[in-house]
Amino acid sequence: MTDTEIRFEEPLPARIAAATERYGEAGLVQHAIGLLQGRNEGEEVLLYLGGRHARGILDGAPALYWPEVWGARALLHVWDDSAASAVLDGVQNRAWRVREMCLKVCAVRQLGDVATVKRRLTDENPRVRAAAAHVVAVVGSADDRSLLERMLKDPEKDVRRAAGEALKLLV
């Protein structure tokens, strides 16, 4: 299949739908896990999940951490429990964008526990801290309020906002 057939300029949901049609949901989940774990899943998968940005990588731009991010992001749209361990491992990735996306998946899929994400509540990157607060809201309990209350004093406004929102959701 060529990239004109993939239509990599389409929005992500349309590309995910096309990729699911091509590989099946279980197959696409396995490709997403592969990308998240740093494996080469082929040009087609990159184009489906990364869109026009993937075209740049295929044309020679440095990949950095983007394929891993795209793999994690795909798991917001397609899911199988076999992806859980890869996502939880990704929470500890050295690239902050991968950590952030894996935390977003944890929040949506209700993965992990507070112990898994506690370290990320003080991550060097504010976007990671904010994403970790959302996970605590989903998987935590009233016993975890103090963790989020401390974040209300974070120097970054977006982190304070995320902590406030998470406190409202915490039961």
Q: What does pTM read for this prediction?
A: 0.95
Integer Cα distance of 97 and 94 in angstroms:
9
Is residue 68 assigned to a domain?
Answer: yes
Is residue 112 assigned to a domain?
Answer: no
Is residue 96 assigned to a domain?
Answer: no
Q: Which domain holds residue 12?
A: 1-80
Domain count, the chain: 1
Radius of gyration of the chain (CA): 17
pLDDT in tens, 108-136: 999 999 999 999 999 999 999 999 999 99
Is residue 67 assigned to a domain?
Answer: yes
Is residue 60 assigned to a domain?
Answer: yes
What DSSP string describes 85-99?
HHHHHHTT-SSHHHH
Is residue 23 assigned to a domain?
Answer: yes
Kindly report the average pLDDT of the chain as a whole number.
95
Sequence-separated (6 or more) residues with CB below 8 Å from residue 160: 151, 152, 153, 154
Is residue 104 assigned to a domain?
Answer: no
Among 56, 54, 47, 59, residue whose Cα is nearest residue 16: 47
pLDDT in tens, 71-115: 999 999 999 999 999 999 999 999 999 999 999 999 999 999 999
Is residue 51 assigned to a domain?
Answer: yes
